[in-house]
A and B are shown apart, each in its own frame.
Chain A
Amino acid sequence: MIAFLLIALGTLGTAAVALSLRNLIHSALLLIASWAGIAAFYLWAGAEFVAFAQVLVYVGAVSMVVLFAVLLTRRSREDLAIARESIGRAIGALIVGGAVLGVLALAVISTPLATAPEASPPAATVHTLGLQLMGPHAAALLIVGLLLTVALLGAIVIASTDTPEKTKNTT
């Protein structure tokens, strides 16, 4: 349980600091730490495969896309001044977020949740996962594959320059 509390504190702390920093690169790196913390939580909960998938996808891939986007859209430090309206928005966001958190926490604490007796985690070995994915969830797997392909093609189309530069093809 101590491990869980440490993981939770680390994840929440890094996430909170990340979203409040003004340096985008630091934000992104801290968020990556936060994603790694979530992977640690999965590991703690016994979902080994998901934990490694989380690290591979978030720390390995999404982080790179985010960092590239940050670098490609970075400007010099001319927007240092914080506008008055953004302070107002931040206060509003804090109020809304706090209210949502309060409601959620109250709901979680007051609901008598039926829990399984504290046992070892359900056996979700890679083998069973594979069988499940290929058996009952095969359609979903195919759709996700299609979705990923379409999404990546779309991302390339959106992000590429409108007129491809004519470069002389020399090898």
Chain B
Amino acid sequence: MTVHFPIVAASVSEWIARPFLPLVTAVPDSQLSALNAQLPPTLSFSLSTAAPSRADALLERFPLVLRDLLTGWLPEPLRWLLNSLLAIVAILAIFGLLFAFLTLAERKILGRIQNRPGPNRTPLPFTKLRFFGLAQPFADGVKALTKEDVIPLGADRVLHYLAPVALLAFSILTFAVIPFGRNLVPLELDAAVLYFFAAGAATELAVFMAGWASRNKYSLLAAMRALAQLISYELPLLLSFVPVILIAGSLSTTAIVAHQGGWHWGFIPNWHVLTPWGFAGFVIFMVAALAESNRSPFDLPEAESELIAGHLTEYSGFKYALFFMAEYFGMCALSGMAVTLFLGGWQAPLPFLEIIPSFVWFGLKLITLLLGFIWIRATFPRLRIDQLTRFAWKFLVPLALINLANTAVWSLTSGWTGPLQLLRWALSIAIVVVPFVLLGRKLSAGVAPRTYRYA
């Protein structure tokens, strides 16, 4: 960590200058490469991201400084407790706000895509300022809070109450291991990825509880369908990130992000998505994530235009809002995991853009993925249940398995250089593309594009 000290800290009072210098002067590349040359090659990636100076940059440290300002005066055990509490509060506040404005963004964007304005009439309180309906989420919140909480007569009251709470709790738990920035990992775990998916798996239970406790046969049937969908897509979801673990050699999210640091030829980031297996894994992961978070085109469990909201039929008021919130939190968490596993986490896409703090990059990537979710919702029609399960078992799972083998090949051929490297890429791309085409042909065999005849 001290390698950059002679460069960064001038003879000026070091304590004042150090935080500001990286803001103003990026370390010149020539010095960096000189430094890299002195180091063993295994270490070079950690230095080429200029980690020491960047990690100390003022903006980078800003959340930690803020935290220490609040809790620094406390004795050690209390401080630890309060720090954890602060992290929880920060996550809840940030993702709560993100949830609120994401619903607004979703409705606005859906509206624009469908050639209508979307919600635009809610004024700020006590004014007539509308600001494009920016206050809409809060109006929705008030509405949800003040609605009557209906519990069906024969319902299992405890489970009926417990289902939304459990769902929300488990989806919030998943945020604990996502590295939001260079210094911002709420919980460092050795088996972080496993933890993430263990907490995510528990949400299925909440769906079942909701369907069963409502004592409504349609709720129960829909819950079973939702479970079938969740279980089917759990498999490709889990299989699609195994290659990342294989290549990064770790289950820890921080290590996976660190493994994606550094640059190829000085400007192409080493993100996993930029390799053939990584790209395939990323696409499979995102498709499975769409299904896992019950989003269109896999929103059969809810299908608000056909079924009566599935397992949510008997929920109203704030409990329904909790379900809604949990769904968006789950979507955010899965997108955050996709960013971490495939899109380089908080790493900047270009070397000179590292001036912008890492958590901003994470947020930008996260929001891009979320907007993609919304775009997909507006574009694709809903699948049928048989198409849905067939797609998972006959297409995604085999592709994910083949992709795993592909990654093994990639890992075995990592020593190839020169023209052999081209062969390596061609081989890897072929292993991705050929099964995709073949399986896709098989999946859509006998299905021709629909022709429309106009009278």
Contact = CB atoms under 8 A, between A and B. Distances in A.
Interface of A: 25, 29, 32, 48-49, 52-53, 55-56, 59-61, 63-64, 67-68, 71, 125-127, 171
A29 B202 contact: no
A32 B166 CA distance: 13
Given A126-B250, A126-B251, A171-B447, A60 B198 contact: yes
A84 B445 CA distance: 60
Contacts of A71: 212, 220, 224
Contacts of B249: 127
Contacts of B115: none
Nearest to A61: B201
A3 B386 CA distance: 47
B194 A68 contact: no
B447 A56 contact: no
B207 to A, nearest CB: 10
B209 interface: yes
A64 B204 contact: yes
B201 A55 contact: yes
A61 B249 CA distance: 26
B91 to A, nearest CB: 20
Contacts of A49: 190-191, 194
Contacts of B231: 61, 64
Given A56-B198, A64-B231, 6 more contacts: A49-B191, A59-B198, A64-B204, A126-B191, A126-B250, A127-B249
Given A32-B205, A60-B201, A63-B205, A52 B446 contact: no
B189 A48 contact: yes
A52 B198 contact: yes
Contacts of B205: 29, 32, 59, 63-64
A48 B191 contact: yes
B219 to A, nearest CB: 13
26 contacts: A29-B159, A53-B194, A53-B198, A55-B198, A55-B199, A55-B202, A56-B201, A59-B205, A60-B201, A60-B202, A60-B204, A61-B201, A61-B231, A64-B204, A64-B205, A67-B208, A125-B190, A126-B190, A126-B250, A126-B252, A127-B250, A171-B386, A171-B387, A171-B444, A171-B446, A171-B447
B190 A48 contact: yes
Contacts of A32: 205
Contacts of B447: 171
Pairs A-B, 5 closest by C-beta atoms: A60-B201, A55-B198, A52-B194, A56-B198, A52-B198
A60 B390 CA distance: 22
A100 to B, nearest CB: 32
Nearest to A123: B190
A134 B446 CA distance: 44
B45 interface: no
B87 interface: no
B194 A25 contact: no
Nearest to B447: A171
A71 B224 CA distance: 9
Contacts of B378: none
Contacts of A29: 159, 205, 209
A53 B250 CA distance: 16
B449 to A, nearest CB: 13
A134 to B, nearest CB: 12
Most buried by A among B194, B231, B250, B446: B194
Contacts of B390: 171
Contacts of B202: 55, 59-60
Interface in B178-208: 189-191, 194-195, 197-199, 201-202, 204-205, 208
B227 interface: yes
A29 B163 CA distance: 12
A59 B206 CA distance: 11
